[in-house]
Amino acid sequence: MILAAKVLTVSDGVHHGVRKDASGAALQELLLSAGWQVAEHRVVADGVEPVAAALIEMCQDFAGLVVTTGGTGFGPRDLTPEGTRSVLEREAPGLAEAARLVNPAPGRLSRGVAGTRGMALVLNTPGSPKGCVECLGAVLDAIPHALSLMTGETTIH
């Protein structure tokens, strides 16, 4: 199985060019070092609509992981989970919870969700480079099996 991923950075600052996308770069580095192919990296502004629209496009005809970084906290513009939920077909709460548990102090403040849209598995991670890498790293080993199940491949349980 080819391990394909896409990265979505959700940040007003990065979108408007006033902040460097350190988190998106950190996720790409982690994925590449773990043997994944990164098919796309996109940046959108915070908000329900930009996140939902980007995820719809990124998941279209894509079988793989779509990981977001940013917008999972308690700030007024932190609406990534709401935008994500609006387009998910099925939630995967175990992945979101496992990602949160890897770093209990800041993890408890992440409202990120996970789930499926079509053949894509979507995972929200925090906006800090350390936080997004830790959260994705906590579940990355389970994602190939989930993707195999989603595509109907025969797997051993």
Measured between alpha carbons, how far is 50 from 17 in angstroms, rounded to an integer?
16
pLDDT (average), residues 34-59: 98
Q: Is 99 left (phi over 0), alpha (psi -120 to 50) or beta?
A: alpha
Residue 105 is predicted with a pLDDT of: 67
- Domain residue limits, the chain: 4-150
pLDDT (average), residues 99-103: 88
Reported as a pLDDT band with limits 50, 70 and 90, residue 79 is: very high
The CA-atom distances, in angstroms, between 104 and each of 97, 107, 131 are: 11, 5, 11
pLDDT (average), residues 9-25: 97
Structure pTM? Answer: 0.95
Answer for the pair 41, 24: CB distance below 8 angstroms, yes or no. Answer: yes
Reported as a pLDDT band with limits 50, 70 and 90, residue 103 is: confident
Class in CATH terms, 4-150 = alpha beta
Measured between alpha carbons, how far is 62 from 85 in angstroms, rounded to an integer?
18
Residue 17 is predicted with a pLDDT of: 96
Residue 154 is predicted with a pLDDT of: 63
Residue 107 is predicted with a pLDDT of: 72
Q: Say whether pLDDT at 91 is over 70.
A: yes
Give CA angle at 150 (148, 151), nearest 5°.
Answer: 65
pLDDT (average), residues 117-128: 97
pLDDT (average), residues 114-129: 97
Measured between alpha carbons, how far is 18 from 149 in angstroms, rounded to an integer?
41
Residue 106 is predicted with a pLDDT of: 66
